[in-house]
């Protein structure tokens, strides 16, 4: 079984739900506490042992490339001012030379198309896919749990988390045929089921491990819901010939692509922050009270 060495992070979406904040700045650079959203996601990938991150970018996204580059002037200034801690933190956050690639999705034709844009850089090996909007706050790096599960199951895996029954129509839903196991074979997948028809309340969390056979299906460029090239459509076709397992995340998932999710993420990450948590809790209490 080939190991999971590379991860794709698509960042070419327009972020229309966050206008005007995203007019000139990518939504992935909005900060949750003191780190851009995208840094939280790259941290998760690196903790999970990913060696190479492929960013699928679009117009207005150059700042993401700069963010993951070294900033020599800044490093020199920190050094000369004796800011050893800040310098070490910057170094730790920056992937090493040759550990990132950037490719362009020239038009936002959908998530499936964005993933397909990474095909030549991924080549013929299984890879991880992380949707940068979705932050997973838990004890461990969730992608690491998924890679561990992959060691047992092989094939394709999808991260899932329970959502309220009345919200299932907003998500991609998977059915694990009644299994209560953390890792379970997927019996059915359905994208945004009509209200009251969802086969379960397990929503796709934005973390995947996929076999490179997905690229062959994506290359058909078939348009799905909303006229976009949908990843789910190709996964549904792939599921006819290859196994798919769900891995349940037991922490909290925040969709930072929505305003409420973004605000909730800031509160949750600030409360969990060892330096800020205690004082922030007091502030929250007085604000809410």
**Which spans of this chain sit near ligand UTP (rule: CB under 6 A)?**
10-17, 56, 105, 108-111, 113-114, 131-133, 257
Q: How far is the CB of 27 from ligand UTP (least distance, A)?
A: 6
Helical H runs in the chain? Answer: 37-47, 62-67, 72-80, 84-93, 111-116, 119-122, 142-153, 213-218, 231-238, 259-272, 277-288
Q: Nearest CA to 95 among 119, 120, 70?
A: 70
Q: How far is the CB of 137 from ligand UTP (least distance, A)?
A: 18
Residue 83: how many other CB atoms lie within 10 Å: 14
Q: 105 vs 205, which CB is nearer to ligand UTP?
A: 105
Q: 29 vs 202, which CB is nearer to ligand UTP?
A: 29
Q: 120 vs 275, which CB is nearer to ligand UTP?
A: 120
Q: How far is the CB of 273 from ligand UTP (least distance, A)?
A: 24
Q: 170 vs 213, which CB is nearer to ligand UTP?
A: 170
Q: 12 vs 158, which CB is nearer to ligand UTP?
A: 12
Q: How far is the CB of 32 from ligand UTP (least distance, A)?
A: 15
Map residue 147 onto helix, strand or coil: helix
Strands 6-10 and 127-130: parallel
Q: Give CA 15 to chain center in angstroms.
A: 15
Cα distances (angstroms) measured from residue 141 to each of 80, 136, 148, 257, 267 = 35, 8, 11, 20, 19
Q: How far is the CB of 61 from ligand UTP (least distance, A)?
A: 9
């Amino acid at each position: 079984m080939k190991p999971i060495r590379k991860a794709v992070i698509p960042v070419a979406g327009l972020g229309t739900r966050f206008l005007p904040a995203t007019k000139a700045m990518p939504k992935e650079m909005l900060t949750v506490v003191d780190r851009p959203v995208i840094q939280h996601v790259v941290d998760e990938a690196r903790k999970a042992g990913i060696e190479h991150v492929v960013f699928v970018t679009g117009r207005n996204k150059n700042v993401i490339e700069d963010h993951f580059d070294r900033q020599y002037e800044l490093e020199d200034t920190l050094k000369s001012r004796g800011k050893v801690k800040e310098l070490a933190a910057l170094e730790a956050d920056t992937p090493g030379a040759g550990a990132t690639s950037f490719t362009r999705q020239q038009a936002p034709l959908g998530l499936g198309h964005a993933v397909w844009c990474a095909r030549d850089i991924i080549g013929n090996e299984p890879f991880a896919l992380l949707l940068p909007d979705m932050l997973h706050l838990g004890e461990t790096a969730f992608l690491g749990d998924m890679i561990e599960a992959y060691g047992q199951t092989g094939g394709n895996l999808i991260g899932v988390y329970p959502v309220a029954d009345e919200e299932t129509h907003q998500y991609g839903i998977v059915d694990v045929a009644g299994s209560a196991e953390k890792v379970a074979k997927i019996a059915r997948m359905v994208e945004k089921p009509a209200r009251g028809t969802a086969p379960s309340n397990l929503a796709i969390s934005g973390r995947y491990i996929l076999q490179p056979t997905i690229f062959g299906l994506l290359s058909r460029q078939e348009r799905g819901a909303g006229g976009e090239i949908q990843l789910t459509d190709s996964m549904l076709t792939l599921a006819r010939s290859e196994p798919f397992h769900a891995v349940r995340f037991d922490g909290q998932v925040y969709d930072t692509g929505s305003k409420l999710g973004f605000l909730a993420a800031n509160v949750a990450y600030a409360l969990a922050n060892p330096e800020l948590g205690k004082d922030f809790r007091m502030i929250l209490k007085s604000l809410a009270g």
